[in-house]
Structure 1
Amino acid sequence: MKLNKTFLAVAVAMPMFSGVAVADTVTAADMKERVFGSLFVEYYMPDHDKRTSPAWNYMDNDWGYGLELGYYLTETWALRAEYAKLDLQSRLDGSDASGNRIGIDAMYHLTRNPAIYILGGLKRFDAVQNSTALNIGVGYKHFFNENFGLFAEASRYQGIDESYADAGFKLGMTYVFGTAAAKAAPTPAPAPAPIVAAPVKADADADGVVDSADKCANTPANHQVDAQGCTVFVEKMAAVGDVDIEVRFPFDSAVVPADQRADVEGLGAFMQRFPESTVLIEGHASNVGNPDYNMKLSQRRANTVADMLTNNFNVDPSRITAVGYGVTRPRVEGRTAAANAANQRIEAKVTAKIKEPVLR
């Protein structure tokens, strides 16, 4: 009998099964200790030597069909027996090269994905010649419920008494008899322990630290606090303002007169008190005489004040910068006596480390 009618029957049945809703609850455990049967069609490909050898009647690629009967031993292992009808012909003249194949297989379903399995077995052929072969393969099953499924499979047949390596691809349907063993009902989870509300502790200033641990009451609402409820401060260097040092120098002199040292001494005392502070000393001159000369004169005057801070108050020179600006930055425009008195000056710009609260 030719394969055409059988193949068409399987092809028609497959769309019918594909319309069945997939049962999400089907697992490998549902198949354990159950018998299954399968029908399949197979495209069989003889070894190249068979296709070119008169001893094998120039056996050509062609279709076959068959059935299987098996048993799921465990969730992963199964055994099956197989019968296949190979409907083969000769490549040379189209004469009959058909035969049968019988055998057994062991199947191992992957633990992480039971739909995929590998197989190995022993087969006996009587197509043209009698021969025995070992086979290995891989397959995929898709169950639509706990009974019906489709499968696809590829196998390699290695001759034992004859040297050949055939191959075959199966497509079929399988039916698992019976129903899955009843599953034990899950043990109900113990009832949760009743939730006892913790007593609310007083926090008068609402800073997140309870009054019993708060060492700084009434901290501002926008201040970040530490574990004791006290404001968290951050230190940074910042300009604290300009300090006008009113020093009037004698004509063409950069020496600070003794009666005009009070501002310089005040600056020195400040820098001693804040050892991380720095200062920029700016020397200025009135707009009288040669501008280049006045530039140098203002620099000498700035250096004089810087030297006083270093020598009299032990301020490290690295904390002091002295710059002369001559007449380029007048406080008062013009050359009047009042303008000259205002412009002949020393200015100090002090930068010191300050503490600021960290805000929420």
Structure 2
Amino acid sequence: MKKTARISLLVAGSLIALATAASAENREGAFSLSPVIGGITFGGGQHLETAPVYGIRAGYNFTKALGIEALFDYSNTEPTSNGSKLTNGKNTDYYRMGGELLYHFFPDNKFVPYFAAGYAAHTFKGAVPAGESSDVKGVGDYGLGAKYFLNDKVALRGDVRHLIYRQASETQHAVEYTMGLHFPFGGKTEAAPVAEPAPEPVVAPVAPSDSDGDGVFDTADNCPGTPQGVKVDAKGCPLDSDRDGVYDYQDNCPGTPEGVKVDTKGCPLDSDKDGVYDSYDKCPGTPEGTTVDKTGCPVKLCSPTVLNIEFDTNKSNIKPQYNDELKRVADFLAEFPTAKGAIEGHTDNVGGKAYNMKLSQRRANSVRSYLIKTFNVAPERISAKGHGLTKPVASNKTADGRKQNRRIEANFTCNGK
């Protein structure tokens, strides 16, 4: 009997050594049912033949490793040659009913070995050992087993148990060895492990670039491509100190007052070219050449626009008969003591342009001098300007037209009496 038990334990130990890693199969919370078949060998003192055994197991796993099983076994055996010690019949029926605790090793493997220990009630019916009866008595057991999961619904199992019990006032032994199928159902199923993402490649940091060399990195530069050497603000844009929309390095008129409209060169607009910027011009659209005041509006001319004076050819001296005509101008200046103006000379187109320009200037100068010397007009009140043939008032194609163009104009600004 002792030799049989040692062999059984050795076989069970070999099963443990064959365990290999695989997917989790012994599930926590799973119920199971296992029909088994095998054999039972009784100790020699019981005078019973080794016989087949049939059984059923019903189990529950508290955890992956720890479980419990209820068991029922039946065997029909015969007496040995010493069966004279048996009574009450020729054959013996053996029944065992109880439970075991199971501890599973490597519960995450397909091949799951385990250790079992339990307690049951057993009875012999028919020919029983001498001095015994067919009363139900207790029997303890321990042993090893293993399950091999074919899939998550069925496994093969094998078990070896050493049974220990009292019989005829003696301790008796038996070894039970079975094979069967194991059917688990329910329980917790672990999710398949999620593969961790591959680590991203480590990229060496790249130094920030400043393509236009303005001191502001490209990632923060709102004005890329600034010309070399141009001063910029914190956003990489050229400075516009007067905020006229034209960068300082392109601004020909820096310091333009805020709000004044400017051209592409940063200079205030003067659409009618009267010398007064549009933003201050109260009389836009003044004809070119018109004398205007500081608001851009034409000034009132209070003197005769044309003086009736004629000169000899290529001459600029004033003849005495024109004294009264010039006195009219002097009287005006006396009436308006704050008035100032200009004597402007004009010619026809006879002769060259340069010649006529000089001639008109000499005649304008002659009239100015006559007024100053003859009528004591203050020199600072009168200027002289020759325009030559540039401002005709009539056609130079006729004699009458040319006569009209040969003229002297007195233009004065009336600033009050």
User: Highest CA radius of gyration, 1 or 2?
Assistant: 2
The TM-score normalised by the length of structure 1 is 0.42
Higher relative contact order (CA 8 A, sep 6+): 1
